[in-house]
Chains A and B, each alone.
Chain A
Amino acid sequence: MIEGNGLTPKPYRVLIAKPGLDGHDRGAKVIVRALRDAGFEVIYTGIRQTPEMIAQTALQEDVDAVGLSLLSGAHMTLFPQITKLLKQNGLSVLVFGGGIIPDEDVPKLKKKGVDQVFGPGTPLSAIVEYLNARLPRVQKK
């Protein structure tokens, strides 16, 4: 049998979001592009998003994963707020992050519900592989 139902299988939906006040979104856009080319449906909402906006967008778009990009150093404040709001919204989405995030913060973020953190220099294929491996296990209610 040809795979699926003869149509393309349902693509995963990913929200790439930039919380906080830094305006450098080239990194986020590179990720958007890589995921698009890897077959994901990617939603990007621009810079300076509040945690509430990100959680609400994830809810309305019913995404499978949320990728957070942050370079300003506010990740310890904003990432946990976002994972908390996502939970409050009843969403079981995979949250991953990237940007300028010191190694020592990574375990703390993971405790707060951030599944994985990708630092500068991560090959794009690593992020694609990570999502393809992790997403089938994120069960939707």
Chain B
Amino acid sequence: MGRVLRGEHAAASRALSLVIDEAPEADSLSKAFFPKSGSVQKIGVCGPPGAGKSSLTGRLVHHLRKQKLKVGILAVDPSSPVSGGAFLGDRLRIQEHAMDPGVFIRSLATRGMVGGVSYTIFGAIHVLEAWGCDKIIVETVGTGQDEVEIGKVGDSVVYVTTPSMGDEIQAMKAGVMEIGDIFVVNKADLHGSDKALSDLRSALSLGRGHEAKPWEAPVLGTSALTGKGVEELGKALDEHWAYLQRSDEGRKRLKEQHKEELSLYISRRVYRNALNQISEKYLDDLVEHKIDPASLGTRILKK
């Protein structure tokens, strides 16, 4: 634990494994690390598969490292619902920072969680907070229209899209479009990016009432390929963080995050304890119609 707090890579890595594997030691680690939590900006990067989240994350890391900030990255990719295996490929695009001692990259598999992150994401964040990160980037699974879990995990959510991902009507839909604090049209080097930018701006402006919102989500064009727009993205992230600090929105979000962490913890516990009790005998009873699933379920949950 002390070694994590001193910023040792190996110790942080081991602690991450214990937390991610939900090992028995995870609870005491979480307790030790928690006092360090909540003071650094957690940047969520989400968007459809192939939008360039990882590449853009790589660029963002570069930008943050120029300011000598210590950066932790949690890159999530999907686990196979069939085999339970996963191909974790986000790291490939961030790998140029592998040898930088001020950067810690960890690839995570969703391990059955739907919503773009993993059940243990908060625990992993706490390890990186204790390790001494100045910024933490959580890159989600390539998401669809309603995978909005990152909105309850990150302080500042960057929604990354690309040109030709659909028109204004697409951008008007509920779900992911509601959780972005900053919108990015990546691959701005491609044809159609100006139209995508204006469609997105126009769709977002529909929700603008008479009074100005305390935070209007900016829409930026970037190219992870050339690095164009990354500086502006960094600036927008700083502005959003400053906004969270000076308004009560920061505290509100932190509460939301703790609520989510707590409910994940409880549901995992209850779920696991209950499932532990499913025995062969119970299954036989069900096959033989000695009991029905609802009654059996109630009995198990009461134990």
A60 to B17, CA, bound (A): 10
**Given A1-B279, A2-B275, A6-B272, does the pair A44, B87 have CB atoms closer than 8 Å?**
yes
Q: Chain B contacts of A7 at CB under 8 A?
A: 112, 272, 275
The answer to the question of A94 belonging to the interface, with a C-beta cut-off of 8 Å to chain B, is: no
A10 to B276, CA, bound (A): 16
The B interface, classified by DSSP as helix, strand, loop or mixed, is mixed
* Stretch of B92-100, B158-166, B183-191, B201-209 that contacts chain A: B92-100
Q: Chain A contacts of B280 at CB under 8 A?
A: 1
Cβ A41 vs Cβ B88 within 8 A: yes
A53 to B10, CA, bound (A): 14
The proximity string for B residues 94-125 relative to A, scoring 1 for CB distances below 8 Å and 0 otherwise, is: 01001100001111010110000000000000
Instruction: Classify chain B's interface size.
Output: 35 or more
Most chain A beta-carbon neighbours within 10 Å: one of B82, B86, B274, B280: B86
Cβ B85 vs Cβ A42 within 8 A: yes
The answer to the question of A43 belonging to the interface, with a C-beta cut-off of 8 Å to chain B, is: yes
- Which residue of the partner chain, among B92, B275, B279, contacts A46 with CB atoms under 8 Å? B92
Name the distance in Å between A87's Cβ and chain B's nearest Cβ: 13
A89 to B98, CA, bound (A): 14
Cβ B278 vs Cβ A6 within 8 A: yes
A42 to B85, CA, bound (A): 8
CB within 8 Å of B: which of A17-59? Answer: 32-33, 35-46, 49-50, 52-53, 56-57, 59
CB within 8 Å of A: which of B258-303? Answer: 271-272, 274-276, 278-280
- Which residue of the partner chain, among B87, B274, B276, B278, contacts A33 with CB atoms under 8 Å? B87
Cβ A39 vs Cβ B272 within 8 A: no
**Given A7-B272, A36-B80, does the pair A42, B10 have CB atoms closer than 8 Å?**
no
Q: List 29 A-B contacts (CB under 8 A).
A: A5-B272, A5-B276, A6-B278, A11-B85, A35-B85, A36-B80, A36-B85, A36-B86, A36-B87, A37-B85, A39-B83, A39-B84, A40-B85, A40-B86, A41-B85, A41-B88, A41-B109, A43-B89, A44-B92, A45-B95, A56-B9, A57-B91, A60-B13, A60-B98, A61-B13, A61-B88, A61-B105, A62-B16, A62-B17
- 20 further A-B pairs in the complex, CB-CB below 8 A; given A6-B274, A38-B85: A1-B279, A2-B279, A5-B275, A5-B276, A6-B272, A8-B111, A32-B87, A37-B82, A43-B89, A44-B88, A45-B98, A49-B95, A57-B91, A60-B13, A60-B98, A60-B104, A61-B105, A61-B106, A62-B13, A62-B16
